[in-house]
Structure formats: C-alpha cells, structure tokens
C-alpha cells in the first residue's frame, strides 16, 4: 500500500442530512471531508438522506473544493439493507467520492463485496 500524496491529518465528518454545511466544511482547512450516511442519520431517514446526497453529488460533481482535498463518504454496514442501498446508489452515481469508508466491518467478505460493487 502506498502512502497518500499528502498526509491526511485532519478529516471532518459532516452528516449527509446537512449538505448546506459542505462549503463551510471545505473552507475549514481540513484535509478532507467525510459525508456521513451512517451514525449521524436516523434509520427512518436513511433512504431520503441517501437520495439527497446522491442528487447533490450529481448536481455539484461531488464535494466542492478549490484545493487538493479528499472527499469521502461513510456508508452503513453491508450486512443490512441500508449499506447495500448505499453501495447501489454510489454505483449509480456519476460523481463519486475519492474514498468510500465501510463501517462496522466484520469480515473480509464485506470488503470484497464493496470492491466488486464499486469501480
């Protein structure tokens, strides 16, 4: 595994339900921004928030950035329907984040599933 082109010393998590915060988060000076679809989103809102994040990425071409910056999205665990839905939505989205963070991984099979589903 090679080292990143620059050190990622400050990563900022932003709830996927608060997309209006993205420009301010990018301007914060953090090295990267992680749009969170997992712990910050109530189960009852996961489908709606996922759709809003995908629509935002399609409309804006991803996370806005005017400098070298890493964008990531943290998805739900792949053992449940929310995580599999997150993977399917990202796969269908033209503008994708630089990194997809898997949450609560319990087996190599989950990582392999994500690797097969995402280009």
Q: Shortest CA distance to 93 belongs to which of 47, 48, 52, 58?
A: 58
Render pLDDT for 6-23 as a digit per residue (tens, 0 to 9): 667 788 899 999 999 988
Render pLDDT for 107-117 as a digit per residue (tens, 0 to 9): 999 999 999 98
**Count of H-run helices and E-run strands, the chain:** 4, 4
Q: Shortest CA distance to 35 belongs to which of 81, 89, 79, 80?
A: 89
Q: Residue 106 forms beta bridges with which residues? A: none
Q: How far is CA 69 from the centre of its chain?
A: 14
Confidence (pTM)? 0.81
Structural domains for the chain: 11-117 (3.20.20.60)
Name the stretches of the chain with pLDDT < 70. Answer: 1-7, 63-69
Residue with tokens 């690797």: 115
pLDDT for residue 95: 74
């Amino acid at each position: 595994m090679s080292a990143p082109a620059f050190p990622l010393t400050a990563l900022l998590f932003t709830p996927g339900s608060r997309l209006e915060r993205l420009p301010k988060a990018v301007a914060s000076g953090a090295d990267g921004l992680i749009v969170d679809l997992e712990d910050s989103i109530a189960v009852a809102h996961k489908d709606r928030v996922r759709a809003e994040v995908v629509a935002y990425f399609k409309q804006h071409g991803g996370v806005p950035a005017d400098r070298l910056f890493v964008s990531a999205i943290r998805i739900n665990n792949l053992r449940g329907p929310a995580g599999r839905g997150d993977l399917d939505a990202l796969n269908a989205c033209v503008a994708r984040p630089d990194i997809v963070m898997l949450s609560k991984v319990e087996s190599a099979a989950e990582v392999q599933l994500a690797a097969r589903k995402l280009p």
